[in-house]
Structure 1
Amino acid sequence: MTLPALHFQPWGETLQEQLDAAHRAEAAGAAVVWAPELHRSAPVTAAALAARTGTIGVGTGIALAFARSPFLTALSALDLDELSGGRLRLGLGTGVQRLNEDWHGVTWSRPVRRLRETVLAIRLLIAGAHTGEPIDFQGEEVRLRVRGYRRPYAPVRAAIPVYLAGVGPAMTALAGEIGDGWISHELCSPSYLASHVLPRLGAKAGFEVVVSACCAIDDDADAAGPPPPGSSGSTPPCAPTPTCSPSTTSPTSSSGSSRRSGAACPPTGSPARSPPRWSTGSPSPGRRTRSPRGSASTAGSPVRSSSARPRTGCRLRGSARSSSRSCD
C-alpha cells in the first residue's frame, strides 16, 4: 500500500522559529515544507527555507498568481529552484476578488481563464528566458512580448512543477488539467475530497494531491482535544485529512490515530482568512512556541488556546501521487 507523504507548513513567532521547525521537519522525514503568503512573502520565506534545508522539497503554498506579473513570478521561481538545487514546487492561487482589488489594486476578471494563461506564460518564460530568443504569448487575459532579453543563468530544470490551489469546481478541474498538483483549502473533509475533488482532478499520472490537516498538539490528550460543548471555541479542530493513493480503495489518513474531520471545503469566493496563532503540526518536527491567552481561530472555526502548555505550530499537509479518479 502506498501511504501519503507528509508535508509540513511550519509556523513561528519569528522567521527563525519557522526555519528551525522546517529543519526539524526535514530531520523527521517530511517530504515538503510550504511557505504561505499572508503575513510574509511566500518567495522570500521559501528562499529562507531553501537555504536552511538540504533535501526536503520547498513550496510556495500559495503565492498569489495575479499580484505579480508572470515575468516576475517566473524569475522568482527560477531563483528559488537554483537556490534549492531543484527542490521547488511553485504553488499558485488566485485569492479572492476583494483581496486582489482592495489589497493589491489588481483588476479582477475571469480568474479561471486568467490563471490558465498565467501558468502557461510562466512556463514559457521559465523554459526560454535563458535562450535570448523572443518570447511571445498572446492570451485573452495575459500578454507577453519579450525582446532583447536573455537571462545569463541556465535553469536548474527546464520545467518547474506548478501546483494550483482551488476550491470551486472550475478551478479544481483546471488544476487537474494543467497543474502538477492541487493544494486544498485549510478545511477539506475526506468525504468532500472523495466525492467532489478527486473526480474533477482526473487521473493524470504523477499528479500530487496536497490536503491540509488542522491539529492541536499537546503532551496532554485532554488539552489537545476539543473544548467542552457550549464553551468558547466549541468547534473541534479538523483532524489530519486523508488523501488517496493508487493502491488504496479508501481515503488513507496521514495519521492512523487521528480523528476524522467533518468539516467541508468552503464555498467558492469565501473571504481570505487569517491563519491561526497556532495551527497544525507534528510533535517530532514541530517547534514548541508560546501560545496566547484566550481563543484563536483556524479558518473561521474557533479552537481553544491555553497558555498553560506550549504547543507546536505548523500546518500538516498530507499528499499522495494518484492515478485514480476517485476514492470509493
Structure 2
Amino acid sequence: MTNIWTPEGFDDWQSHFPATDFVRPPAALDWTELFLKSWRTPGPSLPKDTLVVLVAGLYSEFILYCNRACARSLKSEGYEVLRMPVRSSRGVIAQGEHIAAVLGKRLRPGQRFVVLAHSKGSLDTLATLTQNPALLDACDGIALVQPPVGPSPIIDDLLGYGTPDTGPGYRMDRFRQAMVNSTLLAEGTRDISSHRDPQVASMLSALPDTLHCVHVVSWSAVRRSRFDTHHQRLNALRAGHAHDGQFYMEDLAIPGLPQICLPDVDHGQPILGGAGFDPARFWRTLLEVLHQTLPVRTDHTR
C-alpha cells in the first residue's frame, strides 16, 4: 500500500543525512509553517481572473503528463492556466526572453498573473521578471520549487566538469552524454552546471526588492520518482549529504528569500507525482501561501 505524502518532518534529514551542513532560514523567512497550515486547512483562494502560469524545467517538453495534474485541477476550479511552452535548447536568459514574449501576447490589459515554476523553470522565470519591469509589476507572486541555485553534480559529471570517476561508471551515461551535448539540450543543460552563463549568478545576486516570491527546498532519502532521480550516484559522491535525487539541498536555497522546507520530495515529483505525492494539492497550497502573503498594493484593489 502506498503511503500518502505529508509535508511534516523536514528536520528528519538529520537522521538520514548526518553530514549535511544546512541551516534553516531566520523565522521571518521560514514560511514552512504557513505551507503546513494551508495544506491542512485551505485558506482564501486566488482571484479567478488571475492567470496561473506553469513553468516546468529542463527536458520537460519530452515528459509525458508534465504538470498535467496541476493544470487540470486549477482549470476545474475555474482558473485560467497557461502551461508555458519551453525548450531545453534555450539557456536561462534566452528562455526568459521567450517567456516574456509569450506573456506579453497572452495577458489581457490589466490582468494579474502568478507563476508556479519548477527547477530550471524557476531561473527562467526570474530572468523574465528581472528584465521586464512591466511584467514584474503585473506579477502577484512566484513559487520557485527546487530551484537549481547551485550546479547539478549529475550534469557536471556528464559534461566532464566533475571529479573524474575511477569506478565502473553508470548505466546509460554514454547516451546521456550524447544527449546533453546535443543542440536540443546543450544550452539549457549548461545553465544548471557549474559552467553556467555568468549572467545567471549576477541575476540571483540582485533580485528586485519588489519580487513577491517563495522557494521550496526538499530532500529525499529514497527514490520516489521515475524522473531525475540519482540517489545512488549522489550518495556515492558525497556520503551523508542531503539531496533531492538531482541537487544537494544547500544548492536549492536562495539566501534572503522566503523559504519552505519539505521532506521526502524527489526532484521529479512536483511535476509528475508518484509515491503518494499529490502534485495538484501541492501547487494549490503554494498558490494559497502566495495569496495570503501578497503585500498590499496602492495601485490596485487586491
TM-score with structure 1 length normalisation? 0.31
Question: Between Structure 1 and Structure 2, which shows a larger proportion of strand residues?
Answer: 1
The structure that is helix-richer by fraction is 2
TM-score (norm 2): 0.33
Higher relative contact order (CA 8 A, sep 6+): 2
